[in-house]
Amino acid sequence: MDDLTGKCAFVTGGASGIGFGMAEALAGAGMKVVIADIEANALEQAAAKLKSSGAAVHAIQLDVTDRAAMESAAADAEEAFGAVDVVCNNAGVCWRGFMTDASYDDWDWVLGVNLGGVVNGIRTFVPRLIARGEGGHVVNTASMAGLMASPGNSVYCTSKFAVVGLSEGLRKELAPKGIGVTVLCPAAVNTNINRAERNRPAELGDTSAAMDAEALHLLDRSFLGGTDPRDLGAMVEDAIRRDLPYVIPHQEYKGAFRGKVDGILDIWNDDEPPETRLAGAQLRQQAFARMRDR
């Protein structure tokens, strides 16, 4: 999608942080932008800021875990600007703490937004992209935590590892249809992600005390020196134009990731697989090819 002018982008979590950085970049590229977010006040302010720069913007209050609301938002976006060409499934939350301290409500909240929100965006918009037959692009926001796990962050990592796998599979499925897929895997970005509890539904309880005040203070400080969301938005715009499979902006983790991959390869033995397994792999490829060609 080298030419973005006049096309339409739909961005969840678009009122602040990475989502707003994407919205700014895509609007600057001449796209019409629909920003969807659960926070009404932030959404109003974000829309006003984008409009003041001359962007064509439409704002929709949306809880990405609500499937009916996602369908309604898609119809609203199409009524405002016509067909959506770029879908950015970006809305996300985090819960910090050890898995042994996480409640079922903690799991349901994080997985519901970070994974379920992406699934709902794909299920709602991708069939529309396919039916139009004019290509398009999907951007799913994962994290460096979707490539490498860390203690005290495992619930969040679980959701983001899933988004990486989902995105890699979706890219292979949509490539024959001319639709690109990019997964965004940043580390620290200067956002308020550590205050995601502000949008936690009341029915899912409150276990925000899993981290003490000093630990949360240290986390907040660590994100202040993170990437500016506007810079990340520019990287996403470039990835859409060039159909890149990943955006991985934080070089400080490259060595650790290489060590992880090398460690896996060292464990993987070099024995020749039996012919029966090789034949089985070919049959699976043929079966998946038949599904793709339907």
Contact assessment for residue 124 and residue 74, using Cβ atoms and an 8 Å cutoff: yes
Cα–Cα distances in Å, from 69 out to 17, 36, 73, 76? 22, 11, 6, 10
Contact assessment for residue 35 and residue 62, using Cβ atoms and an 8 Å cutoff: no
Contact assessment for residue 250 and residue 227, using Cβ atoms and an 8 Å cutoff: yes
How would you class 235 by CB atoms within 10 Å of its CB: exposed for 0-12, middle for 13-18, buried for 19 or more? Answer: buried
Query: Is 246 a catalytic site residue?
Result: no
Token match 């495992």: residue? 154
Task: Identify which of 45, 140, 46 has the alpha carbon closest to the alpha carbon of residue 86.
Answer: 140
Which position among 104, 156, 246, 253 bears the catalytic label?
A: 156
Catalytic residues: 156
